[in-house]
Amino acid sequence: MVQVTFTPNIQRHVTCPPREVVGKTVREVLDSIFAVNERARGYVLDDQGALRKHMMIFVDSRPIRDRVRLTDLVPESAEVYVMQALSGG
Amino acid sequence: MSNRLLVATRKGLFAFERSNRKGKPSWVIQQTSFLADNVTLVLPDARDGSVYAALDHGHFGVKLHRSADGGVHWQECAVPVYPPKPEDLEEPAPEGATSYPWSLKLVWALEAGGLDQPDALWCGTLPGGLFRSNDRGESWTLVRSLWDRPERMEWFGGGEDYPGIHSICVDPRDSQRVTLGVSCGGVWVTQDGGKTWACRASGMWAAYMPPERKDDPNIQDPHCVVQCAANPDVLWAQHHNGIFRSTDGAASWQEVKSTPSSFGFAVAVHPADPDTAWFVPGISDEKRIPVDGKVVVSRTRDGGNTFEVLRKGLPQEHAYDLTFRHALDVDETGDRLAFGSTTGSLWISEDQGDTWQQIMSHLPPVYCVRFR
């Protein structure tokens, strides 16, 4: 199972508790999250399904590279952090 | 005592001068420069009396001007120019960008070199390059010893799309020793005038990173770093998620807790007393407004063990002013302070912050204040 944790900053707008989900890519992991928390999708991804400009996702401490298609591989038992990028202020 | 204050704003540069009217101090605009233009930074150079102003024209790019007569006349000088980016260089792009530009986006720090280097200037920029001029801004050279460090690839933007250098502290004892604040890239120190560099942010921590990377010195976001003139081993940093102090020349940092909050952008340290520093707090990074709508300055006189909340003369009802990192300054005596806000207010204190006088309430957004 992949452990997914969201930034505390997003909780003020939409509740995103930590979850354990299944997924081999960042896209699959997020889809698993959004399947039970659809409202969170628009806060993390833009209307084209890409990661919002000022969001960051870390897989086992490293930022993902493919921010558009979210194809970065996620190892089994990985820790995924969905954070806000400070570039957004 | 400084009787002149330079205020760089979104719509021009304003020079205020102090006078006595019926025994009461009065600060009035004595000179206006670059009216309607975006002045992002101002540097009064105490070595020769020159004043430097950095402008961001948007359509026409970043420019740098110098005045030899206190702002009456200005001469455009050179701006830092990045070298061509090697085509085969693989550099991680910032969030949402396709490539990392080797191109000047903003002059974010401008400081004079030491007294022994009368023509030297340092310039920190977005997207992260440090530049040096040896001819008062007539030409600039990228400091490759820092730019080429592999750690730079890990830096990222703080409040901007790209990382940037916003704080430059030249040690008054030894001008070869320079300390930089980088958002987001930690604190960097050179002991040899820029030949070699070391990241010195140990003790800082980052709430915005996964837990296993929160202590990484190279991704810290010090919003502003200042150095005590009388004891340059003492540095203060207003960081994205707290206030940190170093007493060993940035070798280590200790967190201190302020009231009513430890969030903010600006910090000033007393030039003669390393234990006295001032901050302009906001609620938090998620809520960048004053706590309870009351503008206050927090001051410590004991190295951060305790803080006083200074509010006399500051608005205490429905005030939503935010003070940017360069918009707080202390004069060379440590008695006079000034700060400006995003909503165009300007306050001055002549008693170390005990009381404040509102000088202006309708300026353009204030980016930088500097006593001259």
Quick check: A87 and B208 CB within 8 A? no
Q: Which of B208, B286, B288 sits opposite A86 (nearest CB)?
A: B208
List, edge to edge, every strand of the sheet that includes B337-340.
B328-330, B337-340, B346-349, B357-360
Quick check: B96 and A67 CB within 8 A? yes
- ipTM, two decimals, is 0.79
The CA distance from B172 to A41, in Å, is 52
| Min Cα–Cα distance to chain B from A42, Å | 16
Q: How far apart, in Å, are the Cα atoms of A67 and each of A9, A10, B155, B226, B268?
A: 20, 19, 18, 36, 39
- The pLDDT assigned to B147 comes to 98
Q: Encoding tokens for residue B262?
A: 């430890």
Quick check: A86 and B158 CB within 8 A? yes
Structural domains for chain A? 2-88 (3.10.20.30)
The CA distance from B186 to B193, in Å, is 19
- The pLDDT assigned to B99 comes to 79
Interface residue B286 vs chain A (CB under 8 A): yes
Quick check: A87 and B183 CB within 8 A? no
The CA distance from B199 to B219, in Å, is 10
Quick check: A79 and B210 CB within 8 A? yes
Instruction: Count residue pairs from A and B with Cβ separation < 8 A.
Output: 53
Q: Which of A12, A51, A83 sits opposite B208 (nearest CB)?
A: A83
Respond yes or no on whether the N-terminal peptide bond of residue B260 is cis (omega within 30° of 0): yes
Phi and psi angles of residue B96, each rounded to the nearest 5 degrees, phi first: 80, 0
- Chain B nearest-CA residue for A65: B92
Q: Are strands B366-371 and B254-256 parallel, antiparallel or unpaired?
A: unpaired
| Min Cα–Cα distance to chain B from A89, Å | 3
| Min Cα–Cα distance to chain A from B168, Å | 21
Instruction: Decide: B239 and B204 in contact? Cβ < 8 Å.
Output: yes
Q: What is the mean pLDDT of each run of 10 residues along chain B (372 residues)?
A: 96 96 88 97 97 93 95 95 90 75 95 97 97 98 97 92 96 98 98 98 96 96 98 98 98 97 98 98 94 98 98 98 98 98 98 97 98 96
Interface residue B100 vs chain A (CB under 8 A): no
- The pLDDT assigned to B92 comes to 77
Quick check: A86 and B94 CB within 8 A? no
Interface residue B342 vs chain A (CB under 8 A): no
Quick check: A81 and B210 CB within 8 A? yes
Q: Which residue has the higher pLDDT, B257 or A53?
A: B257
Q: Encoding tokens for residue A15?
A: 């509740």
Q: Which of B92, B156, B213 sits opposite A87 (nearest CB)?
A: B156
Which residue, among B95, B215, B218, B239, would best test binding to A if mutated, counting the most A CBs under 10 Å from its CB?
B95
| Min Cα–Cα distance to chain A from B286, Å | 7
- The pLDDT assigned to B60 comes to 87
- Chain B nearest-CA residue for A89: B159
pLDDT greater than 90 at residue A47:
no
List, edge to edge, every strand of the sheet that includes B75-77.
B39-44, B51-56, B62-67, B75-77
| Min Cα–Cα distance to chain B from A36, Å | 23
Contacts of B305 (CB under 8 A, 6+ apart): B256
Interface residue B221 vs chain A (CB under 8 A): yes
- The pLDDT assigned to B96 comes to 63
Quick check: A9 and B162 CB within 8 A? no
Instruction: Decide: B281 and B291 in contact? Cβ < 8 Å.
Output: yes
CA atoms within 13 A on the CB side of B326: 26
- The pLDDT assigned to B24 comes to 83
- Chain B nearest-CA residue for A9: B286
Q: Encoding tokens for residue B255?
A: 């967190």
